[in-house]
Amino acid sequence: MGSKVNKTNVMRLLDAAKLEYGVHCYEGSGAVSGTEVAAVIGAEPARVFKTLVTVGKSRQNYVFVIPVAAELDLKKAADSVGEKAIEMIQQRELLPLTGYVHGGCSPIGMNKPLPTVFDSSAAAFEKIIFSAGKIGWQVELSPEDLKKLVDFSLANLTK
């Protein structure tokens, strides 16, 4: 990769907010799962987060951001947003709802802001890593800086 990075929408939003962030590229590495991505970019999996989009019983959509090696506990997730139950949305619903494709979904820059909850483990890190909004790219920034762009809460979300 040359010094020129094709900026993703997420990176442009971070630039516009004048926030410092790191960029990790795993394009062409063959990494598919979050844990593979963490290995390719040399980060501990606990610091790399995946963005999951769900729908509640009320038909409201929610975003949950959890460590890549963890599994979302649907009961804990529902409790964290005051829903009786939640489920993952259908993959075909992701792009129209968020503007992102499966594997490249970021909590920053969705088509419209959705209630967002990060796993409480994110607070333990100075910087966390998550999708830059395009498969093959990740951004790294502090939860405090992320809070300037995404209104999110913290909750214990994993099994």
Computed over every residue of the chain, the mean pLDDT equals 95
The answer, yes or no, to whether residue 46 has pLDDT greater than 60, is: yes
d(CA 50, CA 69): 9
pLDDT mean over 99-117 = 96
The answer, yes or no, to whether residue 114 has pLDDT greater than 60, is: yes
| Structural domains of the chain, with CATH | 23-125+143-155 (3.90.960.10)
The answer, yes or no, to whether residue 1 has pLDDT greater than 50, is: no
The answer, yes or no, to whether residue 21 has pLDDT greater than 60, is: yes
pLDDT mean over 148-156 = 97
Residues with Cβ within 8 Å of 69's Cβ and at least 6 positions away in sequence, in order, are 34, 35, 38, 45, 46
* Residue carrying the six token digits 């790399």: 48
Q: What is the pLDDT of residues 53-62, one digit of tens each?
A: 999 999 999 9
Q: What pLDDT does 5 receive?
A: 65
pLDDT mean over 79-99 = 97
Q: What pLDDT does 6 receive?
A: 81
* Residue carrying the six token digits 């909750």: 155
Q: What is the pLDDT of residues 116-149, one digit of tens each?
A: 999 999 999 999 999 999 999 999 999 999 999 9
pLDDT mean over 64-71 = 97
pLDDT mean over 73-92 = 97
pLDDT mean over 71-76 = 98
